[in-house]
C-alpha cells in the first residue's frame, strides 16, 4: 500500500481504452462499476472533436436481476454488436474493481444480424488488478495486431514503413505522427500504416507490407514491433526521434533499411537542417554563457525524457542533473540509456518522492509531466511540461519530435533561459530551528512555496530571520 | 407527467469526481481515498466536473490516495497508521473522511475499523464514506458522493435532545457562518418559540445557504446553521426538535441520516424557481412554528421575471440528467413557459421527490435510467432549443449542432431562491442569445 498525492498512470483498463479508442473499427465493452465510466467524459474534454467514443459500459451490479437492464455480460456483448454493426473488433476490458470480483469471461460473439459476419472478440487474459496503463496499452496493441494478422503479405514494391507512435491523449500525438510522416516522405519513404492513432482495423492487416517499423513511442509499440520482427522479419528503428541528432539518426537508419542512397538521405537532412531544424542553429547563436552551469531536471515516461535528455545535454550543452521515469517496468532499459547523459538517473512513481529528488538536485529548469509543476513552482524556477501526462489540451498540437519539434524545443528554451540571474541577488534569510521544524511538516510538493512565502513575509516585515510565528502566519 | 423506465446505460459523471470540489469546499477536512490506481486516477483526471472543458490540473494537499496493492492487501491497522502519519503534517484538520468503495472492500480492508483507529489516535472524528454503497433505489447520480459526505456530516452534528431545546440558542453555540443576519433571525425564532431550522445542502454552491437563510429570515424564521456550512467546528446542533430543510433533490442519504437522528425533514418543494422557493419558505416556516404567506412575494417575483419569461416561452428544453437537480429545474422552466421535452433521471427516488413530481406540469416526461444512445437519437429527432446535458454527451451533442449547457453551470450561477430563479432564466437567455449571434456570422 502506498499513500500518494497523485498518480502518473491510470489503471490497465485506461491503457487498453486509450489504444482501442485510437483505432477505428474497434469497439470496447468495459466491464466496470456504474460509477467508473469517466472515459467518455475525458475523451470529450481532451480530444474536443465531438465524436462519441466507441466504448460501452457493462455495469457490474450487486445482484444481477432478471430484468433486461444492462449488466449481463453475454447480453451486453450481443447488444454492442447489434448497435455497432460496423465494429470489426470488439474488445472486452475490465476495470480493477471488476477484476477483483473475478467473473468468468465469455469467449464467443454472436453474428451481426443478417450478414453472417461475426466480429472478432479480443479479450486480454493477462489483465490483472494492479497493472498499469502503459504496460497494458503495450500488450493490448500487440494482441490487437495478432488478432488481425493472418499471414505475411507481399512487401510493397516501393519502400514503406509503419510508424508506431503515441495513442490518444498523448501531448500533440497527431502532430508527432504528421512530422514523422513529413520527414519520411522527404527521404522517399511512404508511411504504410500509422499505429495506433489513425489506423483502422483493415490497416492492421496490412502491417506486414512494410519494409521497416519506426518506433516513435516505445512505451506502446515495443512488444508489437518485436512480434513483427520475430514473426515476419520486419526490422525496427528505435532511436527517439527527438532533437536534430536523434531525428537524423532515425532517418539514416530508415534509409539504410530501405536501401536508399545514403547521399540523397544526407542531402535531405542538410536541407532540413538549413530550413526547418532550428535547435542546432539556436545552440550556435547563443553565447556559451547562456548554457553554462545550467542544471536541468527531467522527469517523464520513457521516450520523451530520454530523447529530451540527450538533445539538451549534447545538442544544447545543458547539464542534466537528474532524469527519471515513472515507468517502473522499464527500469533497466531506462537507466541504461539515461546513464549516457546523466549521473542522476532514477525510477520512481510517487510524485512526492520525485519532487524530493528534483529539489535535492537543485536544478535551474524542470522538464516534466504536469505533476512536476508544483515542485518547479516551489523552487521558483521555470518549468516545461513536455512529458506525458500533461493536462494541457491545445486545439493545435505541436510536435516535439522531428526537425519541427526541435525548433519548438529551441523556442521554449529561448523563452525560458533569458534573464535568469535576478532571483539569486536577494540576501539570504535565516530560519530559526522552530520555524524549520514547522516547515518540515509541510508536504514536500508544497514546501518550497511555503518557504518562499515565509521569506517574503519576513522581508516585508523587516525581519532578518523567519521565526515560527512568521512562518505560521504566512501559511 | 409520465414516468418511463428505459433500463439503459445513463451517461453520468462518476460520483468520485467530487472529491476535489469537496476538499475545496470543506477546508478543514482530510479526505483519504482508499482503493486501487483506478480511483486515484479518476479523481486526478477529473479535478472538477468538466463543462465542457477540463479545468486546469491542480493538486489539493487535503486529498490523499491510499493505493492498495492487490497482491499484498494491507494488514489491519496499517492504513490507519499511515493516515495518522500524513495527517500530522496538516494543520487545522478537524475531520478525516475515509472514502473507500468496492475495491477496498474486495481487498478485505475493514474501513470502519480503520476509521475508528484513526479517530482514536488523532482524537478527531473520522467517518467512512462508501461511494459504491447500494441505495434503496437503483441507479447513480453524479452527486452521490456529496450526498454521502453530507450524510456523514449530519452524523457529526452535535446531538440535540428535547431537554436541550431551551438552551441551544445561547450565543456561544450559535453558528457564526451566516453572519449577523442569521443571528438576528435566531433571536426572532427564539422569541416566538419556534423550532431551530437547519439547512441541508448547497455543498457545491457556497452562497446557496446564505440566500435561503435570508429568504427565511424575511419570513420571520431564523436559521440555526447549515450543513455543510463552513467548518466542522461550526456544524449546528441537529436532532430531535430540529427542522431540517433540504435544499437539493439529490440528498436522499443525507435526509435519511437527519431523520434517523430524530429531526423533522420538511416535505416540500426544493427552493429552486419562484414557486419552489415560495412553497419551501412557507412549509419550512410552518414546520418551525411560524405562519407566513409567500403569495405576494411569489407574484411580484413572477412579475419581475416578465421580460425574461417572454424570451423563454415556447423554447424546447431537453434534460439528459446527471446531477439530479434537473427535476426542479424542469419544473420551474415549465412553469415559466418553456416546453420540457424530456427529463432524464439516472436515479429517481419517487418517495423522496413526491412533492416535486406532483408539482411537475402535465406535459413533462421523465425517463428513468435513460440510455445515452437513445437520448442522443431523441435529441436529434426533436431538435430542442437547449439541451441541459451531462458532461459525457456535451461535446458530441454540440458537434451535432445542439446548444448545450451543463446542469453544473446553474449550480455555479446560484440557483436557489427568488434571485436564483432570475439567474436561471438569465443564464438560458444569455446562452441562446450568444448562439444566435454566432449563427448570424457568415463564416
Domain A285-422: top CATH class: alpha beta
Q: Tell whether B31 and B152 lie within a shared domain.
A: yes
Domain for residue B185, yes or no? yes
Give the closest of B14, B82, B86 to A37, CB-based.
Answer: B14
- CA pseudo-torsion sign A224, A225, A228, A230: negative
CB pair distance less than 8 Å for B91 and A52: no
Of B273, B296, B319, the one marking the end of a domain is: B296
- The pLDDT value recorded for residue B212 is 94
For A444-458, B64-78, B282-296, which range has the lowest pLDDT when averaged over its residues?
Answer: A444-458
Q: What is the mean pLDDT of residues A320-340?
A: 96
**List of chain B residues whose C-beta atoms are within 8 Å of the C-beta of residue A133:** 41
Give the closest of B41, B61, B68 to A11, CB-based.
Answer: B41
The alpha carbon of residue A128 is apart from the nearest alpha carbon of chain B, in Å, by 9
Is the confidence at residue B37, as pLDDT, over 50?
Answer: yes
Taking CA atoms, what residue in A is nearest to B376? A52
Q: Tell whether B106 and B129 lie within a shared domain.
A: yes
- The pLDDT value recorded for residue A246 is 96
CATH 3.20.10.10 at A12-132, yes or no: no
Domain for residue B312, yes or no? yes
How open is the CA angle A209-A214-A215, to the nearest 5 degrees? Answer: 125
What global pTM score does this model have?
Answer: 0.91
The grid coordinates of residue A385 equal: 511540461
Q: Residue A329, Cβ neighbours under 10 Å: how many? A: 16
Instruction: Choose, out of B59, B370, B387, the residue to mutate when testing the contact with A (most A CBs < 10 Å).
Output: B59
CB pair distance less than 8 Å for A34 and B140: yes
Q: Which residue has the higher pLDDT, A85 or A267?
A: A267
Q: Tell whether B287 and B323 lie within a shared domain.
A: no
What's the pLDDT band for B174 if we cut at 50, 70, 90?
very low
Domain for residue B5, yes or no? no
Give the closest of A52, A62, A443 to B61, CB-based.
Answer: A443
How many A-B residue pairs are in contact by the CB < 8 A criterion? 187
Q: Tell whether B311 and B413 lie within a shared domain.
A: yes
CB pair distance less than 8 Å for B59 and A6: yes
Q: Tell whether B305 and B412 lie within a shared domain.
A: yes
Of B132, B156, B180, the one marking the end of a domain is: B156
Domain for residue B11, yes or no? no
Q: Which domain holds residue B34?
A: 16-156
Q: Tell whether B302 and B428 lie within a shared domain.
A: yes
Q: What is the mean pLDDT of residues A201-216?
A: 95
Backbone angles phi, psi at B223, to 5 degrees: -110, 125
CB pair distance less than 8 Å for A97 and B38: yes
What's the pLDDT band for A320 if we cut at 50, 70, 90?
very high
- CA pseudo-torsion sign B175, B29, A390, A355: positive
Is the confidence at residue A41, as pLDDT, over 80?
Answer: yes
Cα gap A193→A24, rounded to integer Å: 13
The alpha carbon of residue B232 is apart from the nearest alpha carbon of chain A, in Å, by 20
Give the closest of A97, A391, A475 to B57, CB-based.
Answer: A391
What's the pLDDT band for A258 if we cut at 50, 70, 90?
very high
CB pair distance less than 8 Å for B46 and A41: yes
Q: What is the mean pLDDT of residues A64-74?
A: 74
Residues in a beta bridge with A55: A28
**List of chain A residues whose C-beta atoms are within 8 Å of the C-beta of residue B347:** none
Cα gap A333→A320, rounded to integer Å: 18
What's the pLDDT band for A270 if we cut at 50, 70, 90?
very high
Give the closest of A46, A62, A100 to B107, CB-based.
Answer: A100
Whether A12-132 shares its CATH topology with A160-275 is answered: yes
Q: Tell whether B37 and B131 lie within a shared domain.
A: yes
**List of chain A residues whose C-beta atoms are within 8 Å of the C-beta of residue B375:** none
Of B296, B329, B361, the one marking the end of a domain is: B296
The alpha carbon of residue B244 is apart from the nearest alpha carbon of chain A, in Å, by 29
B273-325 pLDDT, tens digit per residue, is 999 999 999 999 999 998 989 999 999 999 999 999 999 999 999 999 999 99
Is the confidence at residue B183, as pLDDT, over 50?
Answer: no
Q: What is the mean pLDDT of residues A445-468?
A: 80
Domain for residue B131, yes or no? yes
Report H helices in A187-330. Answer: 201-205, 218-232, 243-257, 262-275, 279-285, 303-310
Backbone angles phi, psi at A285, to 5 degrees: -70, -45
Q: What is the mean pLDDT of residues B36-44?
A: 93
- The pLDDT value recorded for residue B179 is 46
- Can you tell me whether residue B304 is helix, strand or coil? helix
Q: What is the mean pLDDT of chain B?
A: 89
B377-410 pLDDT, tens digit per residue, is 999 999 999 999 999 999 999 999 999 999 999 9
In B159-249, where do the E strands start and end?
197-200, 223-227, 243-246
- The pLDDT value recorded for residue A444 is 67
Peptide bond into A389 cis (omega under 30): yes
Q: Tell whether B177 and B291 lie within a shared domain.
A: yes
What's the pLDDT band for B190 if we cut at 50, 70, 90?
very low
The alpha carbon of residue A37 is apart from the nearest alpha carbon of chain B, in Å, by 6
Q: Tell whether B24 and B151 lie within a shared domain.
A: yes
Domain for residue B9, yes or no? no
**List of chain B residues whose C-beta atoms are within 8 Å of the C-beta of residue A100:** 36, 70, 102-103, 106-107
CB pair distance less than 8 Å for A130 and B70: yes
Q: What is the CATH number of the domain that holds B354?
A: 3.40.50.1980
Q: What is the mean pLDDT of chain A?
A: 90
Cα gap A278→A407, rounded to integer Å: 5
CB pair distance less than 8 Å for B8 and A70: yes
- CA pseudo-torsion sign A441, A444, A445, A446: positive
- CA pseudo-torsion sign A58, A61, A67, A69: negative
Q: Are B8 and B370 in contact (CB under 8 A)?
A: yes
Q: Tell whether B290 and B305 lie within a shared domain.
A: no
Q: Tell whether B310 and B399 lie within a shared domain.
A: yes
- The pLDDT value recorded for residue A67 is 67
Domain ranges of chain A: 12-132, 160-275, 285-422, 426-474
Q: What is the mean pLDDT of residues B224-233?
A: 87
Instruction: Choose, out of B14, B37, B58, the residue to mutate when testing the contact with A (most A CBs < 10 Å).
Output: B37
Cα gap B338→B356, rounded to integer Å: 17
Instruction: Choose, out of A44, A62, A65, the residue to mutate when testing the contact with B (most B CBs < 10 Å).
Output: A44
Domain A160-275 fold: Rossmann fold (3.40.50)
Give the closest of B16, B37, B139 to A96, CB-based.
Answer: B37
Domain count, chain B: 3
Is the confidence at residue A99, as pLDDT, over 60?
Answer: yes
Q: Tell whether B276 and B185 lie within a shared domain.
A: yes
- The pLDDT value recorded for residue B187 is 42
Give the closest of B64, B85, B103 to A100, CB-based.
Answer: B103
- As a CATH number, domain A426-474 is 1.10.8.550
Q: Would you state the torsion angle of the CA atoms of residues A134, A140, A146, A149, taken in this order, to the nearest 10 degrees?
A: -90
CB pair distance less than 8 Å for A7 and B44: yes
CB pair distance less than 8 Å for A70 and B53: no
Domain for residue B6, yes or no? no
- The pLDDT value recorded for residue B27 is 86
Of all residues in chain A, the percent with pLDDT exceeding 70 is 94
The alpha carbon of residue B438 is apart from the nearest alpha carbon of chain A, in Å, by 18
CB pair distance less than 8 Å for B15 and A35: yes
Of all residues in chain B, the percent with pLDDT exceeding 90 is 73
Domain for residue B205, yes or no? yes
Give the closest of B70, B140, B391 to A35, CB-based.
Answer: B140
Amino acid at each position: 500500500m502506498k499513500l500518494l498525492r497523485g498518480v502518473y498512470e491510470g489503471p490497465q483498463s485506461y491503457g487498453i481504452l486509450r489504444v482501442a479508442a485510437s483505432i477505428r473499427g474497434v469497439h470496447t465493452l468495459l466491464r466496470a462499476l456504474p460509477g467508473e465510466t469517466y472515459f467518455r467524459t475525458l475523451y470529450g474534454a481532451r480530444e474536443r472533436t465531438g465524436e462519441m467514443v466507441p466504448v460501452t459500459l457493462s455495469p457490474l451490479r450487486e445482484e444481477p436481476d432478471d430484468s433486461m437492464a444492462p449488466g449481463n455480460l453475454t447480453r451486453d456483448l450481443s447488444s454492442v454488436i447489434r448497435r455497432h454493426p460496423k465494429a470489426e473488433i470488439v474488445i472486452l476490458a475490465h476495470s480493477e474493481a471488476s477484476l477483483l470480483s473475478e467473473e468468468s469471461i465469455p469467449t464467443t460473439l454472436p453474428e451481426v444480424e443478417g450478414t453472417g459476419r461475426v466480429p472478432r472478440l479480443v479479450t486480454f487474459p493477462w489483465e490483472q488488478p494492479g497493472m498499469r496503463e502503459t504496460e497494458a496499452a503495450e500488450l493490448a496493441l500487440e494482441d490487437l495486431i495478432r488478432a488481425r494478422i493472418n499471414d505475411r503479405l507481399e512487401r510493397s514494391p516501393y519502400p514503406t514503413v509503419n510508424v508506431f507512435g503515441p495513442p490518444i491523449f498523448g501531448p500533440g500525438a497527431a502532430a508527432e505522427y504528421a512530422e514523422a510522416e513529413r520527414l519520411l516522405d522527404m527521404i522517399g519513404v511512404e508511411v504504410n500504416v500509422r499505429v495506433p492513432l489513425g489506423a483502422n482495423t483493415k490497416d492492421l492487416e496490412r502491417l506486414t507490407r512494410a519494409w521497416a517499423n519506426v518506433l516513435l513511442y516505445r512505451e506502446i509499440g515495443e512488444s508489437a514491433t518485436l512480434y513483427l520482427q520475430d514473426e515476419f522479419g520486419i526490422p525496427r528503428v528505435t532511436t527517439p526521434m527527438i532533437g536534430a541528432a536523434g531525428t537524423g539518426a532515425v532517418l539514416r537508419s530508415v534509409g539504410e533499411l530501405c536501401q536508399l542512397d545514403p547521399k540523397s538521405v544526407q542531402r535531405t537532412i542538410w536541407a532540413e537542417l538549413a530550413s526547418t531544424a532550428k535547435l542546432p542553429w539556436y545552440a550556435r547563436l547563443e553565447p556559451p554563457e547562456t548554457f553554462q552551469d545550467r542544471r536541468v531536471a527531467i522527469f517523464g515516461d520513457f521516450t520523451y525524457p530520454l530523447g529530451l535528455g540527450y538533445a539538451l545535454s549534447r545538442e544544447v550543452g545543458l547539464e542534466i542533473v537528474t532524469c527519471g521515469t515513472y515507468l517502473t517496468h522499464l527500469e533497466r532499459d531506462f537507466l541504461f540509456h539515461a546513464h549516457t547523459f546523466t549521473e542522476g538517473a532514477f525510477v520512481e512513481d510517487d510524485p512526492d518522492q520525485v519532487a524530493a529528488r528534483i529539489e535535492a538536485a537543485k536544478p535551474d529548469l524542470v522538464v516534466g509531466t504536469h505533476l512536476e509543476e508544483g515542485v518547479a513552482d516551489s523552487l521558483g524556477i521555470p518549468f516545461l511540461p513536455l512529458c506525458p501526462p500533461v493536462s494541457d489540451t491545445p486545439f493545435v498540437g505541436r510536435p516535439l519530435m522531428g526537425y519541427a519539434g526541435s525548433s519548438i524545443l529551441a523556442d521554449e528554451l529561448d523563452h525560458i533561459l533569458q534573464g535568469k540571474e535576478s532571483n539569486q541577488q536577494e540576501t539570504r534569510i535565516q530560519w530559526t530551528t522552530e520555524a524549520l521544524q514547522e516547515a518540515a511538516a509541510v508536504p514536500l510538493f508544497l514546501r518550497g512555496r511555503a518557504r518562499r512565502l515565509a521569506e517574503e513575509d519576513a522581508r516585508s516585515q523587516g525581519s532578518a530571520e523567519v521565526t515560527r510565528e512568521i512562518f505560521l502566519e504566512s501559511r | 407527467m409520465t414516468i418511463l423506465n428505459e433500463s439503459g446505460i445513463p451517461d453520468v459523471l462518476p460520483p468520485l469526481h467530487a472529491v476535489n470540489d469537496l476538499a475545496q469546499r470543506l477546508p478543514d477536512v482530510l479526505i483519504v481515498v482508499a482503493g486501487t490506481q483506478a480511483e486515484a486516477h479518476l479523481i486526478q483526471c477529473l479535478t472538477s466536473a468538466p463543462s465542457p472543458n477540463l479545468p486546469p490540473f491542480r493538486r489539493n494537499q487535503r486529498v490523499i490516495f491510499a493505493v492498495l496493492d492487490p497482491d499484498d492487501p494491507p494488514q489491519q491497522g496499517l492504513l490507519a497508521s499511515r493516515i495518522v502519519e500524513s495527517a500530522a503534517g496538516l494543520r487545522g484538520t478537524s475531520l478525516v473522511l475515509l472514502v473507500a468503495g468496492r475495491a477496498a472492500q474486495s481487498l478485505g480492508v475493514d474501513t470502519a475499523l480503520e476509521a475508528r483507529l484513526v479517530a482514536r489516535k488523532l482524537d478527531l472524528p473520522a467517518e467512512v464514506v462508501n461511494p459504491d454503497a447500494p441505495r434503496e433505489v437503483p441507479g447513480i447520480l453524479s452527486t452521490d458522493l456529496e450526498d454521502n459526505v453530507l450524510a456523514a456530516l449530519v452524523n457529526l452534528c452535535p446531538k440535540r435532545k428535547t431537554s436541550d431545546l431551551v438552551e441551544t440558542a445561547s450565543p456561544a453555540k450559535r453558528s457564526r457562518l451566516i453572519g449577523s443576519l442569521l443571528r438576528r433571525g435566531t433571536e426572532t425564532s427564539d422569541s416566538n418559540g419556534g423550532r431551530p431550522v437547519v439547512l441541508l445542502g448547497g455543498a457545491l454552491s457556497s452562497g446557496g445557504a446564505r440566500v435561503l437563510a435570508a429568504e427565511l429570515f424575511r419570513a420571520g424564521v431564523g436559521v440555526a446553521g447549515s450543513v455543510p456550512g463552513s467548518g466542522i467546528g461550526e456544524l449546528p446542533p441537529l436532532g430531535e426538535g430540529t427542522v431540517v430543510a433540504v435544499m437539493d433533490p439529490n440528498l436522499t442519504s443525507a435526509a435519511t441520516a437527519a431523520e434517523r437522528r430524530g429531526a423533522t425533514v420538511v416535505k416540500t418543494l426544493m427552493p429552486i424557481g419562484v414557486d419552489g422557493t415560495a412553497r419551501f419558505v412557507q412549509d419550512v416556516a410552518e414546520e418551525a412554528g411560524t405562519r407566513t404567506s409567500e403569495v405576494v412575494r411569489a407574484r411580484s417575483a413572477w412579475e419581475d421575471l416578465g421580460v425574461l419569461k417572454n424570451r423563454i416561452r415556447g423554447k424546447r428544453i431537453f434534460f439528459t440528467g446527471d446531477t439530479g437537480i434537473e427535476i426542479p429545474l424542469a419544473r420551474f422552466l415549465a412553469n415559466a413557459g418553456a416546453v420540457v421535452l424530456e427529463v432524464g433521471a439516472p436515479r429517481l427516488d419517487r418517495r423522496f421527490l413526491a412533492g416535486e413530481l406532483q408539482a411537475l406540469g402535465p406535459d413533462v416526461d421523465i425517463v428513468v435510467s435513460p440510455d445515452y444512445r437513445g437520448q442522443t437519437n431523441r435529441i436529434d429527432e426533436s431538435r430542442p432549443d437547449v439541451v441541459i446535458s451531462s458532461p459525457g454527451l456535451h461535446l458530441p451533442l454540440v458537434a451535432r449542432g445542439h446548444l448545450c449547457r451543463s446542469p453544473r453551470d446553474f449550480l455555479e450561477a446560484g440557483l436557489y431562491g427568488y434571485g436564483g430563479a432570475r439567474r436561471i432564466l438569465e443564464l438560458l437567455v444569455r446562452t441562446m442569445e450568444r448562439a444566435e449571434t454566432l449563427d448570424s456570422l457568415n463564416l
